[in-house]
Structure 1
Amino acid sequence: MAGSNRSDDWSPEQTFSVVLETAALSEIELSQYCREKGLYPEQVKEWKQSCIAVDQTQAQVRKQLAQERKADHKRIKELERELKRKDAALAETAASLVLKKKLNAYWGEDEDS
């Protein structure tokens, strides 16, 4: 790809490689590098900004996912507490019904009355 200066002809891997290779270069060294590769310094600077923008976007996505995960974890805890409370209430109601049946059987009363 050395003779092509169209940014469309460079793959993302190649542009990222150029950005890495030129990251520590001075303006003069960058200009020399670009002449050797058939690029313009503006292209390399644009590619660098694109890489930074992608990294920032990914950081925002990671942050949003972490927040969603935290909210989901909190919601799960709330639902587990509510389920435990409802299970206890159901067990209490079932025990009450069993006790009522036993008392009715003991006293000889009909369940409907």
Structure 2
Amino acid sequence: MVKQTYSVEFKEQALLKVFHRGSRTIGSVADELNMNVMTLKNWMKGAAASTRGDGSGHAKRPEDWSLEERLLALQQSHGLVDEALNAWCRERGLFVHHLEQWRADFCAAGGTGGRRESAQEVRELKHANMQLQRELNRKEKALAEAAALLVLQKKYRALFGDEAE
């Protein structure tokens, strides 16, 4: 059996056709292009792996996207509805509710990334609280020691005060 080789242009056109096939099956697209279904599926896997590995930020979890990437995603998806929006989200590993949350965050926080900054603020406040608790404990111990010394001093004077005079 002779191995068929395809040009880069043919491969790109075949991938475009299969990714925009609508309700048709991959097999029907492969038959139309007169090629093996598994070859086409392997090309699809390779294309998906290359888009994940190109560093475009689309392989990351939605919470790992930077503010700039989130804003760009909101701009790119603006105006898309239903199937087009869902397809756009699938390509980038997102759900529509992620876009809605990002839009709400930008509107509410003025684009300052509310959650991330508030989490850091909470950490800083917890650290400050721990330091204050340590200082309070130290001062309480010092106060208890001073009170004990005063009590001992009174007892000493009561026992030996008459002899000392």
Q: TM-score, normalised by structure 2?
A: 0.35
TM-score (normalised: structure 1): 0.49
Q: Which has the higher contact order (CA 8 A, sep 6+)?
A: 1
The structure that is helix-richer by fraction is 1
